[in-house]
Protein backbone atom coordinates (compact mmCIF):
# COMPACT_ATOMS: atom_id res chain seq x y z
CA UNK A 1 0.00 0.00 0.00
CA UNK A 2 1.28 3.45 -0.92
CA UNK A 3 1.96 5.76 1.95
CA UNK A 4 -0.37 8.79 1.99
CA UNK A 5 2.48 11.22 1.34
CA UNK A 6 3.56 9.25 -1.75
CA UNK A 7 0.05 9.29 -3.17
CA UNK A 8 -0.11 13.04 -2.56
CA UNK A 9 3.25 13.51 -4.29
CA UNK A 10 1.99 11.58 -7.32
CA UNK A 11 -1.13 13.76 -7.50
CA UNK A 12 0.91 16.95 -7.20
CA UNK A 13 3.30 15.75 -9.91
CA UNK A 14 0.42 14.96 -12.27
CA UNK A 15 -1.13 18.36 -11.55
CA UNK A 16 2.17 20.11 -12.26
CA UNK A 17 2.64 18.27 -15.56
CA UNK A 18 -0.94 19.15 -16.57
CA UNK A 19 -0.31 22.80 -15.77
CA UNK A 20 2.88 22.89 -17.82
CA UNK A 21 1.58 20.96 -20.84
CA UNK A 22 -2.01 22.14 -21.17
CA UNK A 23 -4.03 25.32 -20.93
CA UNK A 24 -7.29 25.56 -19.02
CA UNK A 25 -10.49 27.49 -19.57
CA UNK A 26 -9.17 30.13 -17.16
CA UNK A 27 -6.25 30.86 -19.49
CA UNK A 28 -8.56 32.09 -22.25
CA UNK A 29 -8.04 35.83 -21.87
CA UNK A 30 -4.38 35.50 -20.81
CA UNK A 31 -3.05 33.93 -24.03
CA UNK A 32 -2.28 35.97 -27.16
CA UNK A 33 -4.62 34.90 -29.98
CA UNK A 34 -5.34 35.90 -33.57
CA UNK A 35 -8.61 35.34 -35.41
CA UNK A 36 -7.44 35.08 -39.01
CA UNK A 37 -10.82 35.37 -40.73
CA UNK A 38 -13.28 38.11 -39.80
CA UNK A 39 -15.23 40.76 -41.72
CA UNK A 40 -15.67 44.21 -40.20
CA UNK A 41 -17.28 46.63 -42.64
CA UNK A 42 -18.47 49.21 -40.12
CA UNK A 43 -17.31 52.49 -38.63
CA UNK A 44 -17.96 51.52 -35.02
CA UNK A 45 -15.30 49.97 -32.76
CA UNK A 46 -17.50 47.37 -31.07
CA UNK A 47 -15.76 44.41 -32.70
CA UNK A 48 -12.21 45.42 -31.84
CA UNK A 49 -13.24 46.39 -28.31
CA UNK A 50 -14.46 42.85 -27.63
CA UNK A 51 -11.36 41.43 -29.29
CA UNK A 52 -9.16 43.38 -26.90
CA UNK A 53 -11.11 42.08 -23.91
CA UNK A 54 -10.62 38.49 -25.08
CA UNK A 55 -6.98 39.05 -26.09
CA UNK A 56 -7.54 38.64 -29.84
CA UNK A 57 -5.98 40.39 -32.80
CA UNK A 58 -7.68 40.25 -36.16
CA UNK A 59 -7.35 39.69 -39.90
CA UNK A 60 -10.10 41.65 -41.63
CA UNK A 61 -10.90 40.05 -45.00
CA UNK A 62 -12.54 41.63 -48.03
CA UNK A 63 -14.84 39.57 -50.26
CA UNK A 64 -15.68 39.91 -53.97
CA UNK A 65 -19.44 39.35 -53.86
CA UNK A 66 -19.82 39.79 -57.64
CA UNK A 67 -21.32 43.22 -57.08
CA UNK A 68 -18.60 45.16 -58.85
CA UNK A 69 -15.68 47.38 -57.97
CA UNK A 70 -17.80 49.86 -56.03
CA UNK A 71 -18.47 47.35 -53.24
CA UNK A 72 -14.84 46.23 -53.25
CA UNK A 73 -13.73 49.83 -52.72
CA UNK A 74 -16.34 50.36 -50.01
CA UNK A 75 -15.05 47.32 -48.11
CA UNK A 76 -11.50 48.51 -48.68
CA UNK A 77 -12.22 51.89 -47.11
CA UNK A 78 -13.65 50.20 -44.00
CA UNK A 79 -10.63 47.88 -43.72
CA UNK A 80 -8.15 50.70 -44.18
CA UNK A 81 -9.91 52.89 -41.63
CA UNK A 82 -9.94 50.11 -39.01
CA UNK A 83 -6.27 49.34 -39.67
CA UNK A 84 -5.28 52.99 -39.34
CA UNK A 85 -7.42 53.43 -36.24
CA UNK A 86 -6.20 50.26 -34.55
CA UNK A 87 -2.82 49.31 -36.05
CA UNK A 88 -1.93 47.03 -33.13
CA UNK A 89 -5.15 45.04 -33.53
CA UNK A 90 -5.98 44.77 -37.24
CA UNK A 91 -4.34 43.48 -40.38
CA UNK A 92 -6.38 43.20 -43.57
CA UNK A 93 -6.61 41.10 -46.72
CA UNK A 94 -7.63 42.81 -49.94
CA UNK A 95 -9.58 41.32 -52.84
CA UNK A 96 -10.32 42.16 -56.47
CA UNK A 97 -13.44 42.25 -58.58
CA UNK A 98 -13.78 39.90 -61.54
CA UNK A 99 -16.72 41.85 -62.98
CA UNK A 100 -14.27 43.37 -65.48
CA UNK A 101 -13.08 39.92 -66.59
CA UNK A 102 -13.69 40.45 -70.31
CA UNK A 103 -11.72 43.68 -70.42
CA UNK A 104 -8.39 43.07 -72.23
CA UNK A 105 -6.69 45.03 -69.43
CA UNK A 106 -8.24 42.96 -66.63
CA UNK A 107 -4.96 41.42 -65.48
CA UNK A 108 -2.99 44.68 -65.68
CA UNK A 109 -5.70 46.63 -63.85
CA UNK A 110 -6.02 43.96 -61.17
CA UNK A 111 -2.30 43.92 -60.44
CA UNK A 112 -2.27 47.74 -60.28
CA UNK A 113 -5.11 47.61 -57.73
CA UNK A 114 -3.31 44.96 -55.68
CA UNK A 115 -0.10 46.99 -55.72
CA UNK A 116 -2.00 49.95 -54.28
CA UNK A 117 -3.50 47.68 -51.61
CA UNK A 118 -0.10 46.33 -50.56
CA UNK A 119 1.42 49.80 -50.44
CA UNK A 120 -1.37 50.82 -48.06
CA UNK A 121 -0.95 47.83 -45.78
CA UNK A 122 -2.81 44.77 -47.11
CA UNK A 123 -0.96 41.54 -46.31
CA UNK A 124 -2.97 38.97 -48.30
CA UNK A 125 -5.50 38.57 -51.13
CA UNK A 126 -8.86 36.81 -50.94
CA UNK A 127 -10.63 34.96 -53.75
CA UNK A 128 -14.19 33.82 -53.19
CA UNK A 129 -16.61 31.12 -54.27
CA UNK A 130 -18.07 33.30 -57.05
CA UNK A 131 -15.08 31.91 -58.93
CA UNK A 132 -16.34 28.44 -59.76
CA UNK A 133 -19.95 28.89 -58.66
CA UNK A 134 -21.33 32.20 -59.94
CA UNK A 135 -19.37 34.30 -62.41
CA UNK A 136 -19.51 33.69 -66.16
CA UNK A 137 -17.62 35.34 -68.99
CA UNK A 138 -19.10 36.94 -72.12
CA UNK A 139 -19.48 33.49 -73.68
CA UNK A 140 -21.47 32.29 -70.64
CA UNK A 141 -18.61 30.05 -69.54
CA UNK A 142 -18.23 29.59 -65.77
CA UNK A 143 -14.85 30.84 -64.56
CA UNK A 144 -12.93 28.28 -62.47
CA UNK A 145 -9.91 29.11 -60.32
CA UNK A 146 -7.50 27.24 -62.59
CA UNK A 147 -8.45 29.47 -65.54
CA UNK A 148 -5.20 30.49 -67.33
CA UNK A 149 -6.20 34.15 -67.17
CA UNK A 150 -5.65 34.07 -63.39
CA UNK A 151 -2.16 32.56 -63.67
CA UNK A 152 -0.41 35.90 -64.10
CA UNK A 153 -2.05 37.24 -60.95
CA UNK A 154 -1.18 34.16 -58.91
CA UNK A 155 2.41 34.15 -60.22
CA UNK A 156 2.64 37.81 -59.24
CA UNK A 157 1.49 37.00 -55.69
CA UNK A 158 3.96 34.13 -55.46
CA UNK A 159 6.82 36.37 -56.60
CA UNK A 160 5.96 38.88 -53.86
CA UNK A 161 5.35 36.14 -51.29
CA UNK A 162 1.83 37.50 -50.71
CA UNK A 163 -0.55 34.78 -49.42
CA UNK A 164 -3.71 33.92 -51.32
CA UNK A 165 -6.70 33.16 -49.09
CA UNK A 166 -9.10 30.98 -51.07
CA UNK A 167 -12.74 30.29 -50.32
CA UNK A 168 -13.24 27.95 -53.27
CA UNK A 169 -16.17 25.60 -53.45
CA UNK A 170 -18.35 24.99 -50.41
CA UNK A 171 -18.79 22.34 -47.70
CA UNK A 172 -19.53 18.94 -49.14
CA UNK A 173 -22.94 19.24 -47.46
CA UNK A 174 -23.76 21.87 -50.08
CA UNK A 175 -24.37 19.10 -52.63
CA UNK A 176 -26.75 17.17 -50.35
CA UNK A 177 -30.45 17.63 -49.54
CA UNK A 178 -31.00 19.66 -46.40
CA UNK A 179 -32.15 16.66 -44.36
CA UNK A 180 -28.96 14.72 -45.22
CA UNK A 181 -26.51 17.43 -44.17
CA UNK A 182 -24.25 16.55 -41.26
CA UNK A 183 -24.34 19.88 -39.41
CA UNK A 184 -27.12 22.22 -38.39
CA UNK A 185 -25.22 25.37 -39.38
CA UNK A 186 -24.92 24.14 -42.99
CA UNK A 187 -28.59 23.19 -43.00
CA UNK A 188 -29.50 26.69 -41.83
CA UNK A 189 -27.16 28.53 -44.22
CA UNK A 190 -28.22 26.70 -47.36
CA UNK A 191 -31.90 26.91 -46.51
CA UNK A 192 -31.43 30.69 -46.30
CA UNK A 193 -29.14 30.91 -49.37
CA UNK A 194 -30.63 28.54 -51.95
CA UNK A 195 -28.62 30.23 -54.71
CA UNK A 196 -25.52 28.55 -53.25
CA UNK A 197 -27.18 25.22 -52.44
CA UNK A 198 -25.62 23.15 -55.20
CA UNK A 199 -28.03 20.25 -54.68
CA UNK A 200 -30.58 22.54 -56.30
CA UNK A 201 -28.21 23.43 -59.15
CA UNK A 202 -27.02 20.20 -60.78
CA UNK A 203 -26.07 22.18 -63.90
CA UNK A 204 -23.13 23.68 -61.97
CA UNK A 205 -19.81 21.92 -61.22
CA UNK A 206 -19.84 19.11 -58.68
CA UNK A 207 -18.03 19.22 -55.36
CA UNK A 208 -15.30 17.01 -56.83
CA UNK A 209 -14.87 19.36 -59.81
CA UNK A 210 -14.50 22.36 -57.49
CA UNK A 211 -11.79 20.66 -55.44
CA UNK A 212 -10.03 19.37 -58.56
CA UNK A 213 -9.87 22.90 -60.05
CA UNK A 214 -8.36 24.25 -56.83
CA UNK A 215 -5.81 21.42 -56.74
CA UNK A 216 -4.83 22.02 -60.37
CA UNK A 217 -4.28 25.68 -59.59
CA UNK A 218 -1.97 24.75 -56.71
CA UNK A 219 -0.09 22.33 -58.93
CA UNK A 220 0.52 25.15 -61.42
CA UNK A 221 1.72 27.52 -58.68
CA UNK A 222 3.83 25.49 -56.23
CA UNK A 223 5.49 28.61 -54.78
CA UNK A 224 2.19 30.34 -54.02
CA UNK A 225 1.47 30.61 -50.30
CA UNK A 226 -2.12 29.39 -50.12
CA UNK A 227 -4.46 29.46 -47.15
CA UNK A 228 -7.56 27.38 -47.74
CA UNK A 229 -10.38 29.28 -46.07
CA UNK A 230 -12.96 27.18 -44.26
CA UNK A 231 -10.61 24.17 -43.99
CA UNK A 232 -10.02 24.28 -47.73
CA UNK A 233 -13.56 22.98 -48.36
CA UNK A 234 -12.29 19.61 -47.08
CA UNK A 235 -13.99 20.10 -43.71
CA UNK A 236 -15.86 16.81 -43.92
CA UNK A 237 -12.77 14.58 -43.65
CA UNK A 238 -9.52 15.15 -41.79
CA UNK A 239 -8.13 12.27 -43.86
CA UNK A 240 -8.82 14.07 -47.15
CA UNK A 241 -7.49 17.33 -45.77
CA UNK A 242 -4.31 15.58 -44.62
CA UNK A 243 -3.73 14.30 -48.17
CA UNK A 244 -3.77 17.87 -49.53
CA UNK A 245 -1.53 19.22 -46.79
CA UNK A 246 0.94 16.42 -47.55
CA UNK A 247 0.80 17.13 -51.29
CA UNK A 248 1.02 20.94 -51.13
CA UNK A 249 3.69 22.10 -48.66
CA UNK A 250 2.79 25.78 -49.17
CA UNK A 251 -0.85 25.17 -48.22
CA UNK A 252 -2.38 25.78 -44.81
CA UNK A 253 -6.04 26.11 -43.83
CA UNK A 254 -8.11 28.24 -41.53
CA UNK A 255 -10.93 26.86 -39.36
CA UNK A 256 -13.44 29.63 -40.12
CA UNK A 257 -17.10 28.59 -39.87
CA UNK A 258 -16.24 24.89 -39.98
CA UNK A 259 -16.03 23.96 -36.30
CA UNK A 260 -19.39 22.22 -36.69
CA UNK A 261 -17.80 19.73 -39.08
CA UNK A 262 -14.89 19.29 -36.67
CA UNK A 263 -17.38 18.62 -33.86
CA UNK A 264 -19.22 16.13 -36.07
CA UNK A 265 -16.06 14.18 -36.81
CA UNK A 266 -15.11 14.32 -33.13
CA UNK A 267 -18.40 12.63 -32.25
CA UNK A 268 -17.47 9.82 -34.64
CA UNK A 269 -13.77 9.46 -33.79
CA UNK A 270 -12.26 11.90 -31.32
CA UNK A 271 -8.82 10.30 -31.32
CA UNK A 272 -8.49 10.59 -35.10
CA UNK A 273 -9.41 14.28 -35.03
CA UNK A 274 -7.06 14.95 -32.11
CA UNK A 275 -4.21 13.15 -33.85
CA UNK A 276 -4.82 15.22 -36.98
CA UNK A 277 -4.71 18.51 -35.06
CA UNK A 278 -1.48 17.50 -33.37
CA UNK A 279 0.23 16.18 -36.52
CA UNK A 280 -0.75 19.21 -38.61
CA UNK A 281 -0.49 21.82 -35.88
CA UNK A 282 1.83 23.90 -38.11
CA UNK A 283 -0.78 24.11 -40.90
CA UNK A 284 -3.95 25.15 -39.04
CA UNK A 285 -4.97 28.74 -38.30
CA UNK A 286 -7.69 29.66 -35.86
CA UNK A 287 -10.52 31.62 -37.51
CA UNK A 288 -14.26 32.16 -37.11
CA UNK A 289 -15.84 34.18 -39.97
CA UNK A 290 -17.40 36.55 -37.42
CA UNK A 291 -18.63 39.79 -38.95
CA UNK A 292 -19.85 43.29 -38.20
CA UNK A 293 -21.69 45.22 -40.88
CA UNK A 294 -23.27 47.63 -38.40
CA UNK A 295 -26.65 45.88 -38.70
CA UNK A 296 -27.09 44.25 -35.30
CA UNK A 297 -27.08 45.45 -31.73
CA UNK A 298 -23.46 45.97 -30.71
CA UNK A 299 -23.82 44.43 -27.26
CA UNK A 300 -25.55 41.33 -28.63
CA UNK A 301 -22.86 40.98 -31.28
CA UNK A 302 -20.11 41.21 -28.66
CA UNK A 303 -21.88 38.62 -26.52
CA UNK A 304 -22.02 36.20 -29.46
CA UNK A 305 -18.37 36.86 -30.34
CA UNK A 306 -17.25 36.07 -26.82
CA UNK A 307 -19.43 32.96 -26.69
CA UNK A 308 -17.99 31.55 -29.94
CA UNK A 309 -14.41 32.35 -29.06
CA UNK A 310 -14.75 30.82 -25.58
CA UNK A 311 -16.54 27.69 -26.87
CA UNK A 312 -13.79 27.03 -29.41
CA UNK A 313 -11.11 27.56 -26.75
CA UNK A 314 -12.86 25.12 -24.46
CA UNK A 315 -13.01 22.53 -27.25
CA UNK A 316 -9.35 22.86 -28.18
CA UNK A 317 -7.78 23.06 -24.69
CA UNK A 318 -9.98 20.84 -22.46
CA UNK A 319 -11.39 17.33 -22.63
CA UNK A 320 -14.73 18.34 -21.17
CA UNK A 321 -17.95 16.85 -22.47
CA UNK A 322 -19.59 19.49 -24.65
CA UNK A 323 -22.72 20.22 -26.65
CA UNK A 324 -23.24 22.65 -29.51
CA UNK A 325 -26.21 23.77 -31.56
CA UNK A 326 -24.04 23.08 -34.64
CA UNK A 327 -24.44 19.32 -34.18
CA UNK A 328 -26.97 17.06 -32.49
CA UNK A 329 -24.74 14.88 -30.30
CA UNK A 330 -22.38 15.55 -27.43
CA UNK A 331 -18.63 15.39 -27.95
CA UNK A 332 -15.49 15.73 -25.87
CA UNK A 333 -12.88 18.46 -26.25
CA UNK A 334 -9.54 17.67 -27.88
CA UNK A 335 -7.28 18.91 -25.05
CA UNK A 336 -4.39 19.80 -27.31
CA UNK A 337 -0.92 20.43 -25.86
CA UNK A 338 0.07 24.05 -25.28
CA UNK A 339 2.54 23.91 -28.17
CA UNK A 340 -0.22 23.03 -30.65
CA UNK A 341 -2.63 25.59 -29.21
CA UNK A 342 -0.04 28.37 -29.42
CA UNK A 343 0.61 27.57 -33.08
CA UNK A 344 -3.05 27.32 -34.08
CA UNK A 345 -4.05 30.49 -32.26
CA UNK A 346 -1.01 32.67 -32.82
CA UNK A 347 2.27 31.46 -34.25
CA UNK A 348 0.87 30.12 -37.52
CA UNK A 349 -0.70 33.50 -38.30
CA UNK A 350 2.74 35.03 -37.87
CA UNK A 351 4.35 32.32 -40.02
CA UNK A 352 1.86 32.04 -42.89
CA UNK A 353 0.49 35.58 -43.00
CA UNK A 354 3.39 37.57 -41.51
CA UNK A 355 0.92 39.32 -39.24
CA UNK A 356 2.04 42.19 -37.00
CA UNK A 357 5.75 41.91 -37.87
CA UNK A 358 6.86 45.11 -36.17
CA UNK A 359 4.85 45.56 -32.98
CA UNK A 360 6.69 43.04 -30.85
CA UNK A 361 4.01 40.39 -30.40
pLDDT in tens, 311-320: 999 999 999 9
pLDDT in tens, 210-239: 999 999 999 999 999 999 999 999 999 999
Between 97 and 69, the more confident residue is 97
Residues paired with residue 61 on neighbouring β-strands, in sequence order: 93
pTM: 0.94
Nearest partner of 64 among 39, 95, 33, 43, judged by Cα:
95
How would residue 65 be classed by pLDDT, with cut points 50, 70 and 90? confident
Helices 238-247 & 259-279 angle (0-180, nearest 10): 50
CA angle (120, 253, 261) in 5-degree steps: 130
Please tell me the predicted confidence (pLDDT) of residue 259. Answer: 98
Please tell me the predicted confidence (pLDDT) of residue 67. Answer: 77
The yes/no answer on whether domain 23-353 falls in CATH 3.40.190.10 is no
pLDDT of 7 above 90: no
pLDDT of 69 above 90: no
- Mean pLDDT, residues 239-254 taken together: 98
Provide the percentage of residues in the chain whose pLDDT is more than 90. 91
Length of the chain: 361
- Output the DSSP codes for 102-150: TSTTHHHHHHHHHHHHHHTT--EEEE-THHHHT-B-TT-PBPPTT-GGG
CB-CB contact of 340 with 278 (8 Å):
yes
- Mean pLDDT, residues 107-135 taken together: 97
Task: Quote the CA–CA distance of 108 and 297 in Å, as a whole number.
Answer: 42
**Rounded to whole angstroms, what are the CA distances from 336 to 147, 154, 192, 278, 341?**
40, 35, 35, 7, 6
Phi, psi of 351 (to 5 degrees): -75, -50
Between 360 and 313, the more confident residue is 313
pLDDT in tens, 330-353: 999 999 999 999 999 999 999 999
Amino acid sequence: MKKPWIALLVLLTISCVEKNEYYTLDDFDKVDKIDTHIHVFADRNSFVNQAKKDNFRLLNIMVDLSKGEELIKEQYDYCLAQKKGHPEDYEFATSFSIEDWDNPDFTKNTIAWLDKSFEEGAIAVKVWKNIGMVFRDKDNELIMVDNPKLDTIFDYLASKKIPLVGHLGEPKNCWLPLDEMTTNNDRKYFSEHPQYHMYQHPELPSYEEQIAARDRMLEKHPDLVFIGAHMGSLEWSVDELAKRLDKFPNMSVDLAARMGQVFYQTVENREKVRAFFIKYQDRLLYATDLADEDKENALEMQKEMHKMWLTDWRFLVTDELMASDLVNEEFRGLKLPKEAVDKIYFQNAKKWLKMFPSNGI
